[in-house]
Structure 1
Amino acid sequence: MNLFSEMHGTVAAALDALVADGTLPAGLDTAAVTVEPPRDPAHGDMATNAAMVLAKPAGLKPRAIAEALADRLAADPRVATAEVAGPGFINLRLDPSAWHGVLAAALGEGRDFGRSALGQGLKVDVEYVSANPTGPLHVGHTRGAVFGDALARLLDFAGYDVTREYYINDGGAQVDVLARSVYLRYLEAHGQEVAFEDGTYPGDYLVPVGEALKAEVGDAYVGRPEAEWLAPVRAFATDAMMALIRDDLKALGVEMDVFFSEKSLYGTGRIEAALDSLREKGLLYEGVLEPPKGKTPEDWEPREQTLFRSTDYGDDVDRPVMKSDGSWTYFAPDIAYHYDKVERGFDWLIDVFGADHGGYVKRMKAAVAALSQDAVPLDVKLMQLVKLYKGGEPFKMSKRAGTFVTLRDVVDEVGPDVTRFVMLTRKNDAPLDFDFDKVLEQSKDNPVFYVQYAHARVCSLLRKAEAAGLPASDAALRGADLSALGHEAELALARKIAEWPRLVEIAGRSCEPHRVAFYLYDLASELHALWNRGHDEPALRFLQEDDPAGSTARLALARASAVVISAGLGILGVTPAEEMR
């Protein structure tokens, strides 16, 4: 049940009636008509801009339309008052029964309350993390993993058919470096002294990989030339690193539907097929690029390359896909990978990239637009950096990783639920400070605790109600007489619950799961505020021995709050707390 959507339908029906009686001309475009909470809650529960946006095309004054429309809306039994404000806005105050209906719907639908058909089953591919398989996931990957997973959950909740995808970057030179690094650990496992040079990876995480390689092949590669062991060690090391990455993601509660290997594109004709698709459209040509920024013609050797006309699709310059020596650029397999996505029939592609990939966005969007003939949009979400603090100081690097703080460092320190919630307390393109001390505080300033505490409070309340012989099941509470809920503080909480379906659609349209975290904090604040008012106003206490009917109504209100908190935490990938410890 989406009360805002229902009231929008009521406004649309009233406008149709005004057309039918000749007050408004036929054929008006009502697409810009909205029904939403007013900026100032003192003005009412909902507001519509219908008169303002229709006045000019109707050739009428906004206030004249507003007054006629307000009269129609006031006839709806859910509308207590319909007031014209300013030049023509209409502020609506709803009868308490409207909010009571929302509570009943929440209790009836459970965690499905707020689910939307917004996506209409459109197929969406969300690609995220996609880290090089050369080591453990670091804290930057953690933020991308949490955001991507929460976005996928949000879009699923909003009615899209979502595929979660990880692109394994196992086709470049970095996996050769990984193989050489593992070989050094392999020699070390055989008792040899080794030195990590030429950019090899010194992290201790490769020690067990070297030992596992020894256990599998014995001394078969000891003292042998690189040409003999590089390929098999590369495959062994990549598999080992991907197993580590999968375990790290699982510890964070992230599971992928698809792991797509870059290497699978090479030698299979798939890169050639993607580029042939561009060539058939006249989008590939042989040319010479201008010197890069900072390079002068004197220190730039122009070479003819195969170029993609990415400027035809909004890029700053055309991009090379094949070097002068006939080898692929790093852009070519990425084109082929996205061509594969287009061929798989997705209606919408979303890539979650690190902040350092900002310069890559335009060329990738250009490639997808060209490959799909503008039929498949590509959205790229950039993840800004995370700064870690502990004890007021920057959190130090992981000894195990050698150079960075790992995902496991964070999860082991505070747990997956706290990690996930905190990573979603800022928009993805804003920097995030993660303070290990503050995220574990039991205070209102810690949103994780505050939201979890609200849910746990309701669970405790229901246990007490059940012990007192009051109805505590959703089915029983749904059938309760809610007319006792008339205090402004109670209705304020009900109004906030009613915003949830609308919030899901707004967050889904904008691909902003952080909106869910913000909303949950506001909902928890309303619940805590009502709870605390009961200390001073006994009539607002949720359980009252001499008022079983009122207690049951307030239990329904509390439980509806918990239902929404649970659903919202589910989108964030956080387990609702049933008790605080």
Structure 2
Amino acid sequence: MNIFADIRALVVETLESLAADGKLPEGLSYDNVTVEPPRDAGHGDMATNAAMVLAKPAGMKPRDIAEVLAERLTGDDRIAEAQVAGPGFLNMRLTPAVWQAVVRSALADPGYGQSAVGAGQKVNVEYVSANPTGPLHVGHTRGAVFGDALASLLGFAGYDVTREYYINDGGAQVDTLARSVYLRYLEAHGEDVEFPDGTYPGDYLVAVGEALKEKVGDQFVGKGEQYWLAEVRDFASDAMMDLIREDLAAIGVEMDVFFSEKSLYGTGRIEAAIDSLRDKDLIYRGTLEPPKGKVPEDWEPREQTLFRSTAHGDDVDRPIQKSDGSWTYFAPDIAYHYDKIERGFDQLIDVFGADHGGYVKRMKAAVSALSDGKVPVDIKLCQLVRLFKKGEPFKMSKRAGTFITLRDVVDEVGPDVTRFTMLTRKNDAPLDFDFDKVVEQSKDNPVFYVQYAHARVKSVLRKAEIDVSDEALAEADLSVLDHDAQLDVARKIAEWPRLVEIAARTNEPHRIAFYLYDLASVFHSLWNRGNDDPSLRFLQEGDEATSRSKIALARAVAVVLATGLGILGVTPAEEMR
């Protein structure tokens, strides 16, 4: 049940009936007619822009349309009042029965809030995709949580979602990893080693060096890297990916696909992608202009193989092959996205770190060119996370050597708190993660506030000495839920299906976290009013029927909270201690 969609359908039906009666011109398009909550809740339950968007094509004044629409709408038993405001906005108040029916729907419909807006479209969500050179750090954590919650949201909204991790194992950083592991390998053989600048000194490689010793013995000791680099690189990459999978599992993230960049080299797949662009006259030999601003001292114009990305919205054309014939870092990324398109995805979503902001336009241009504009790509940038403890910046991880790991965060506060907190800001806004504040029990901590609301409902259900199954509650007489505070809760529950569709269309899972906080707020407000007004308490001693009706409202809140938390990958609290 989506009451906003139902009332919009009513508005459109009413407009069509007005046209049939000659009060509006025939043939008007109602595509831009919306029904949504008014900006000021005091104006009503819902507002429609119908008169405003139809005035010009109808050749009428907006207020004239709004007035005839209002008169006709009040004939529907769901509409208690319809009032024209300003130049022609129409505000509507719905009858209590509408909101009471929403409560029943939330209890009776196991999929309340689910949507078919995705219509089975195949969506690839690529996220995390960290270099396989060490454990995931706190920045990766935010991308992992965001991408995973987005994938769950899209699945809930009717999309066919594939979660994918792109293993960046084709670049020089993997050679650096191999050299770092080799040093730990020598250390495992009792040698004293020093880590040159640019290598990875973290303790997490100690076990990898020991494992390498166990596998190959001393056969690489004292040997030049031409004898061991390739084998150690593969061994180290596999070990790091095992570590990364463990890190992801610690925060409840499971991927459907791990795609190796290395698999693109020497297989003709990069060449095939570039040839696809060449066939469209988008590959050429040319010389780029010097970088804007201060020109580097070592810059000199040179002819390169370029992708004509400006033909698809980029600011400049991009090099794809160096003068020595090797590929730039952009070429395998083009090939990787070409592979996604060839796999038949209808939409691509890439979740990148904030440092990839300059990569957005070129990647969008590549996907547009490769798919002839048929496959959209949405690139979401996750801004930095600043960690604090006791009011001070949190120190780096000894285990990692240079950064704070995902495990540091999860070990400190747990996966549920970590995940919810990472979604309390929009992905492109910086996030302050205060280890003390995210576990404090106060309204200012959204994690606690939402979980406390769910735990309170569970407490009511445990204390009730009546049948509180969803089936029994759905049969309760909900007409007794007529107090403004109770109807406010029901109104908020009614927003859930609409919110899901908006969040899915915009690829913004943080909207779910914001909504859950708002729902918890109106529920806590009703609970607190019961402290002063016994008639608003959920358990009415000696009145089983009324208790069941009030518990039905509380249970409907829990249904939505649990569903929303599930999308975010957070386990609902059964009780708070």
Matched, 1:519 2:537: no
Tell me the distance in 1 between the aligned counterparts of 2:305 and 2:101.
Answer: 63
Matched, 1:461 2:460: yes
Supply the AA of the counterpart residue of 2:112. F
Tell me the distance in 1 between the aligned counterparts of 2:433 and 2:38.
Answer: 34
Tell me the distance in 2 between the aligned counterparts of 1:59 and 1:198.
Answer: 73
State which of 536, 550, 559 in structure 2 corresponds to 1:540. 536
Tell me the distance in 2 between the aligned counterparts of 1:350 and 1:305.
Answer: 30
Supply the AA of the counterpart residue of 1:101. A
1:37-66 deviations in whole A, cap 9, x for unaligned?
111111111111111111111111212211
Shift of 1:471: 2.1
**Secondary structure in structure 2 of the residue aligned to 1:82:** strand
Relative to 1, partners in 2 of residues 1:209 and 1:451: Cα closer, same or farther, differing over 3 Å? same
1:350-395 deviations in whole A, cap 9, x for unaligned?
1111111001111111000000000011111111100000011000
1:129-175 deviations in whole A, cap 9, x for unaligned?
00000000000000000001111111111111111110000000000
Tell me the distance in 2 between the aligned counterparts of 1:401 and 1:198.
Answer: 15
1:258-299 deviations in whole A, cap 9, x for unaligned?
100000000000000000000000000011122223554974
1:194-251 deviations in whole A, cap 9, x for unaligned?
1111411100000000001111111121112211110111000000000000000000
1:412 match = 411
Supply the AA of the counterpart residue of 1:563. V
Shift of 1:70: 1.2
Tell me the distance in 2 between the aligned counterparts of 1:377 and 1:475.
Answer: 43
Tell me the distance in 1 between the aligned counterparts of 2:75 and 2:562.
Answer: 36
Tell me the distance in 2 between the aligned counterparts of 1:360 and 1:126.
Answer: 17
Matched, 1:567 2:567: no
Q: How does 1:63-462 map to 2 (within 5 A)?
A: 63-110=63-110, 112-294=111-293, 296=295, 299-462=298-461
State which of 526, 531, 535 in structure 1 corresponds to 2:527. 531
Supply the AA of the counterpart residue of 1:568. G
Supply the AA of the counterpart residue of 1:46. M
1:422-456 deviations in whole A, cap 9, x for unaligned?
00000001000000000010111110000000000
Supply the AA of the counterpart residue of 1:55. A
Tell me the distance in 2 between the aligned counterparts of 1:572 and 1:297.
Answer: 45
Supply the AA of the counterpart residue of 1:63. R
Shift of 1:87: 2.3
Tell me the distance in 1 between the aligned counterparts of 2:339 and 2:307.
Answer: 18
**Secondary structure in structure 1 of the residue aligned to 2:479:** helix
Shift of 1:101: 1.1
**Secondary structure in structure 2 of the residue aligned to 1:260:** strand
**Secondary structure in structure 2 of the residue aligned to 1:278:** helix
Q: Which runs of 4+ in 1 moved over 6 A?
A: none
Shift of 1:75: 1.4
Supply the AA of the counterpart residue of 1:281. K
Greater shift, 217-226 or 294-303, is seen at: 294-303
Supply the AA of the counterpart residue of 1:379. D
1:391-428 deviations in whole A, cap 9, x for unaligned?
11000000000000000000000000000000000000
Tell me the distance in 1 between the aligned counterparts of 2:31 and 2:290.
Answer: 48
Tell me the distance in 1 between the aligned counterparts of 2:102 and 2:213.
Answer: 63
**Secondary structure in structure 1 of the residue aligned to 2:109:** helix
**Secondary structure in structure 2 of the residue aligned to 1:227:** helix
**Secondary structure in structure 1 of the residue aligned to 2:319:** strand
Tell me the distance in 2 between the aligned counterparts of 1:550 and 1:70.
Answer: 36
**Secondary structure in structure 2 of the residue aligned to 1:93:** strand
Matched, 1:550 2:546: yes
Tell me the distance in 2 between the aligned counterparts of 1:333 and 1:295.
Answer: 29
Greater shift, 233-242 or 212-221, is seen at: 212-221
Tell me the distance in 1 between the aligned counterparts of 2:124 and 2:13.
Answer: 37
**Secondary structure in structure 2 of the residue aligned to 1:141:** helix
TM-score by length of 2: 0.99
Q: Structure 2, unaligned stretches of length 5 or more?
A: none
Tell me the distance in 1 between the aligned counterparts of 2:172 and 2:244.
Answer: 19
- Quick one: percent identity of the two aligned structures? 76
Tell me the distance in 2 between the aligned counterparts of 1:84 and 1:294.
Answer: 55
Tell me the distance in 2 between the aligned counterparts of 1:319 and 1:69.
Answer: 55
TM-score by length of 1: 0.98
1:473-493 deviations in whole A, cap 9, x for unaligned?
001101111011000000000
1:113-137 deviations in whole A, cap 9, x for unaligned?
1011111111111111000000000
Tell me the distance in 2 between the aligned counterparts of 1:281 and 1:136.
Answer: 41
**Secondary structure in structure 2 of the residue aligned to 1:129:** coil
Relative to 1, partners in 2 of residues 1:296 and 1:102: Cα closer, same or farther, differing over 3 Å? closer
Q: Structure 1, unaligned stretches of length 5 or more?
A: none
Tell me the distance in 1 between the aligned counterparts of 2:249 and 2:296.
Answer: 51
Relative to 1, partners in 2 of residues 1:71 and 1:320: Cα closer, same or farther, differing over 3 Å? same
Shift of 1:78: 1.2
2:49 match = 49
State which of 476, 497, 517 in structure 2 corresponds to 1:501. 497
**Secondary structure in structure 1 of the residue aligned to 2:141:** helix
Shift of 1:300: 2.2
Tell me the distance in 2 between the aligned counterparts of 1:212 and 1:265.
Answer: 28
1:11 match = 11
**Secondary structure in structure 1 of the residue aligned to 2:193:** coil
Tell me the distance in 1 between the aligned counterparts of 2:539 and 2:52.
Answer: 46
**Secondary structure in structure 2 of the residue aligned to 1:180:** helix
Greater shift, 232-241 or 34-43, is seen at: 34-43
Tell me the distance in 2 between the aligned counterparts of 1:476 and 1:298.
Answer: 77
Greater shift, 478-487 or 70-79, is seen at: 70-79
Greater shift, 77-86 or 394-403, is seen at: 77-86
Tell me the distance in 2 between the aligned counterparts of 1:91 and 1:576.
Answer: 36
1:291-341 deviations in whole A, cap 9, x for unaligned?
223554974222211100011111111111111110000000000000001
Supply the AA of the counterpart residue of 2:91. N
Tell me the distance in 1 between the aligned counterparts of 2:371 and 2:62.
Answer: 44
Shift of 1:554: 0.5
Supply the AA of the counterpart residue of 1:257. D
Greater shift, 139-148 or 50-59, is seen at: 50-59
Tell me the distance in 2 between the aligned counterparts of 1:438 and 1:295.
Answer: 43
Task: Give the CA RMSD over aligned residues.
Answer: 1.0
**Secondary structure in structure 1 of the residue aligned to 2:243:** helix
Tell me the distance in 2 between the aligned counterparts of 1:149 and 1:271.
Answer: 28
Tell me the distance in 2 between the aligned counterparts of 1:340 and 1:396.
Answer: 41
Tell me the distance in 1 between the aligned counterparts of 2:6 and 2:192.
Answer: 73
Matched, 1:39 2:39: yes
Tell me the distance in 2 between the aligned counterparts of 1:299 and 1:498.
Answer: 62
